Structure 1
Amino acid sequence: MTCVGFIGLGSQGGSMARRIVEAGFPLTLWARRAESLSPYADTAAATAESIAALGAVCDHVGICVVDDAGVRAVMDELLPAMKPGSVIVIHSTIHPDSCKALAAQAAARGVALLDAPVSGGGPGAAAGTLTVMVGGDADALATARPVLETFAGLIVHLGDVGAGQTAKLVNNTLMAANMALAHHALASGEALGIDRTALADLVKASSGRSFGLEVYARLPTPQAFGHGGKLLAKDVGLLGALLGDDPAFAALRDVARPFLDLTTETPS
């Protein structure tokens, strides 16, 4: 059976790792902090003393750290330790060009690399309903698919390495724009004397509904979305780096940015 490794045990990655081990795959974990590993004491998961030690015993390694720098730091230690024929799957949301460069380095060592960012958050990971957006070789995806299916409700192969990241950036920029529109729509209703909660419940069942509105309607203030706002702002910035002043991106950015700025403001 495929020996799986996982690095990045945050709110989303942690649940992904638990789904993998509970599906019966031999799983090895590594984390910088010992407390990140304690939730897996009741599982069959093993732990590695280093990233290199994890790489040496695994055929498939998932990476779910926060950003480009984090992924590169993990890869610097992981890749030299992995066996030819292994697969690395990057679930982090990073620049597509970073994935392409890392895939070339991996290929030189006989290791396949897939970029496979996910959508659905911690609850989706725990429920096994994540959407996985994959870029990379079809044969490598076929090899990795049984592991991905432990936490995925939908797996979409979008093209070569980097395509998964590109799709995720478009998705997250649209999410930010939809939350911005929800913010303005609910504020408009309140200004006209309509109860905010009642209006949100109405729209969620009507033609103006969106996932962004559902998320925003649960927030007491934009600042309550501070952590998520920072992550979405990162992704909007990455898409901007790819598209520059493309009119389609500019339209999304100009809606999303003011709202994202609100999420990180200190309330007066």
Structure 2
Amino acid sequence: MLLAGHSLTVWARRPESAQDLVGKGAVLAQSVEDLAKTCDYVGVCVVDDAGVEDVCSKLIPALAAGSVLVIHSTILPSTCEDLARRCAEAGIQFLDAPVSGGSPAASAGTLTVMCGGTPETFEHALPVLQTFGSKIVHLGPAGSAQQAKIINNSLMAANMGLAFSALDIADKVGVDRAALSDLIKHSSGRSFGFEVFARLPTPDAFAHGAKLLLKDVELLGSMLGPDAGANALATAALPFLDATGATRKTDR
């Protein structure tokens, strides 16, 4: 955003994580409320529903009418639907806009941005989203972008789970693991998830990423509801996620 000529004010729950942006010219807000009073466009990127709720409970009362609140976290669609309602009551525009691509795409400004909200809010937010995203899609009303992101991340987890099973089979039948990994990258079984898994020395080397993917697979279960039963994405993903040491909610 700074490179695109926008002014930027930042706040972080861990102050040290904002220092890089401050060093590049961003202004550091002293509190969430201070951020809201300074900005007419606020993007939120924290880990989970609880974090989003905590930040937004302070942001929404402090934002001026006509401001834009954008949620980049991956959370429950119903949380975004509730936030959209609360924002509408306060005269604030709301967009849920989770992203995909990771740190490399963020640094290059080529993230994929999935958007849910009114068409008017999407168009209003687009110039800012274009400063860090190259594929930006409006999917429908608030919450719809979260639905798409949860499906996307669960598919990534399932592909890594299938890669875990495939390479385990290769080991058992005596196929050279490295040769097979290279072969699949050029064959019809390839996927981004397979390529990520094939680079891992052991499953637990993906422990940090696995916690986030497990969160999103659990969000898929919550989104589908108790009557959905076991779904194919979770069924494929969970053996791999268990192997990383990620802990399911039911195990906590």
Structure 1 and Structure 2 fold alike (TM over 0.5)? yes
Q: Cα RMSD between the aligned structures?
A: 1.5
- Structure 1 unaligned segments of length 5 or more: list them: 1-19
- Which residue in 2 is equivalent to 1:139? 120
Number of the residue aligned with 2:31: 50
Task: Show the counterpart of 2:233.
Answer: 252
Provide the C-alpha distance between the structure 2 equivalents of 1:38 and 1:241, rounded to a whole number of angstroms.
36
Runs of 4+ residues deviating >2 angstroms: 190-195, 244-247
The alignment status of 1:127 with 2:119, answered yes or no, reads no
Unaligned stretches of 5+ in structure 2?
248-252
In 1, the alpha carbon distance for the partners of 2:41 and 2:78 equals 22
Specify the alignment match of 1:8 in structure 2.
Answer: none
> Does 2:64 correspond to 1:94?
no
* Residue 14 of structure 1: aligned partner: none
TM superposition shift of 1:127: 1.2
Structure 1 match to 2:250: none
Conservation of the 8 A alpha-carbon contact between 1:22 and 1:43: no
Question: In structure 2, what is the equivalent of residue 240 of structure 1?
Answer: 221
Where does residue 5 of structure 1 map in the other structure?
Answer: none
Identical columns (%): 57
Residue identity in the other structure for 2:51 = G
* Contact 2:71/2:98 (8 A) holds in 1: yes
What is the rounded CA distance, in whole Å, between the counterparts of 1:162 and 1:46 in structure 2?
A: 31
After TM superposition, the score normalised by the length of structure 2 is 0.93
Matched-pair contact (CA < 8 Å) for 1:225–1:263: yes
Inter-partner Cα distance in structure 2 for 1:44 and 1:84: 27
Change in Cα spacing, 1:77 to 1:265, as seen in structure 2 (3 Å) is: closer
Q: Does 1:114 align with 2:95?
A: yes
The aligned amino acid for 1:69 is A
2:180 counterpart of 1:180: no
SS of corresponding position for 1:220? coil
SS in 2 for 1:194: coil
Distance in 2 between residues matched to 1:230 and 1:40, nearest whole Å: 26
For residue 175 of structure 1, what is the amino acid of its counterpart? M
Deviates most, 194-203 or 221-230? 194-203
